[in-house]
Amino acid sequence: MTRSHGFIIVALFLLFWAPGQIPAAENFVFRGQIVDTANKPVGGAEVYVFDSANVKRPADFISNRTGGDGYFRVELPPGHYWTMAIMRVSGASFGPLGKDDKHSGETIEVDSAGKKEFRKDFTIMDLREAARANQKRSEAVIKISGQILNDDGLPVEMAYVLVDQQRKFGDMPQYLSTWTGADGHYVLFLPKGKFFIGASKDFPPESDYNLTKEVDFARDTAGVDLLVPSKASLP
């Protein structure tokens, strides 16, 4: 055997074996079921998985699209993830949700440490259902109404109102209105108190969205008009 042949054999040996070599960590399985507000399985939904808390971007991993039983499954490398479930009528994989699309709300954190499998179910709802879920039915609830307008003072269709006690909220604000119609009018039910309020056409709201208008609501209040600024006027 020539010296060159011996060198090739040794090189191949070292490439495929090394003393003390650590095998790659195995993937773990994230599985569960996606249901609606009536606890019925949702078909055509997916779970989006992100490797950071910034979830207003394309997902790093996406589960299978659920069938009629609502079950999903996705294999992930070891790590810490932020997850949510989404059902898009259009079938698109990214972008603001439409009127009939559904979303699970706040992200669920998943950590693979010490796990081969992690099970979590999601409940998804559209904006109308989310607004209804956020209405606190009690004597303290008051009715807020107004109009959503653009920079030119014209009514904005397919916009909604966001309300939270913090100017900078998390993934989702505490309270949401339903989508506006062609007249831009909205109605929202809130407990009495001081809130930050704003409007948007993007659902879920952008991750850097700030509620700039602060209002102390003590009674039913009409005429609370809100502006959806054009993209050019945003900071």
Say yes or no: 93 and 115 in one domain. Answer: yes
Rounded CA separation 142/193 (Å): 10
Mean pLDDT, residues 114-122 taken together: 90
CB 78, CB 28: distance < 8 Å: yes
8-state DSSP, 155: B
Higher pLDDT, 38 or 56: 38
Q: Is 156 inside a domain boundary?
A: yes
Say yes or no: 82 and 52 in one domain. Answer: yes
**First-to-last C-alpha distance (Å) of the chain:** 71
Is the Cα dihedral 86, 175, 198, 153 positive or negative? Answer: positive
The structural domain count of the chain equals 2
Rounded CA separation 175/205 (Å): 12
Rounded CA separation 127/64 (Å): 24
Average pLDDT, the chain: 81
User: Which residue type is seen at 213?
Assistant: K
Say yes or no: 92 and 147 in one domain. Answer: no
**H or E segment and range at residue 16:** helix 3-16
Q: Which residue range(s) make up the domain with 226?
A: 127-230
Q: Is 163 inside a domain boundary?
A: yes
Q: Is 204 inside a domain boundary?
A: yes
Q: Is 8 inside a domain boundary?
A: no
Q: Is 14 inside a domain boundary?
A: no
pLDDT band at 19 (very low <50, low <70, confident <90, very high): very low
Say yes or no: 111 and 183 in one domain. Answer: no
Tokens 């209405």, residue located? 135
Say yes or no: 90 and 131 in one domain. Answer: no
Q: Is 175 inside a domain boundary?
A: yes
Q: Is 201 inside a domain boundary?
A: yes
pLDDT of residue 66: 95
At 203, which CATH number?
Answer: 2.60.40.10
Choose one of 76, 93, 123: the last residue of a domain. 123
Choose one of 62, 92, 123: the last residue of a domain. 123
pLDDT of residue 132: 66
Quote the percentage of the chain above a pLDDT of 90: 39
Mean pLDDT, residues 6-25 taken together: 44
pLDDT in tens, 70-89: 999 999 999 999 999 999 88
Say yes or no: 74 and 112 in one domain. Answer: yes
Say yes or no: 221 and 137 in one domain. Answer: yes
| Residues sharing a CB contact under 8 Å with residue 158, sequence separation 6 or more, in sequence order | 99, 179, 180, 201
pLDDT of residue 176: 86
pLDDT of residue 95: 65
Say yes or no: 89 and 176 in one domain. Answer: no
pTM above 0.85, yes or no: no
pLDDT band at 188 (very low <50, low <70, confident <90, very high): confident
pLDDT of 40 higher than 70: yes
Choose one of 88, 106, 123: the last residue of a domain. 123
Mean pLDDT, residues 193-199 taken together: 93
pLDDT of residue 91: 67
pLDDT of 12 higher than 50: no
Tokens 């900078």, residue located? 168
Q: Is 12 inside a domain boundary?
A: no
Say yes or no: 118 and 155 in one domain. Answer: no
pLDDT of 10 higher than 50: no
Say yes or no: 142 and 224 in one domain. Answer: yes
pLDDT band at 234 (very low <50, low <70, confident <90, very high): very low
Say yes or no: 91 and 42 in one domain. Answer: yes
At 44, which CATH number?
Answer: 2.60.40.1120
Say yes or no: 111 and 136 in one domain. Answer: no
Count Cβ atoms below 10 Å from residue 169 Cβ, excluding itself.
17
Rounded CA separation 159/177 (Å): 9
pLDDT of residue 8: 44
8-state DSSP, 131: H
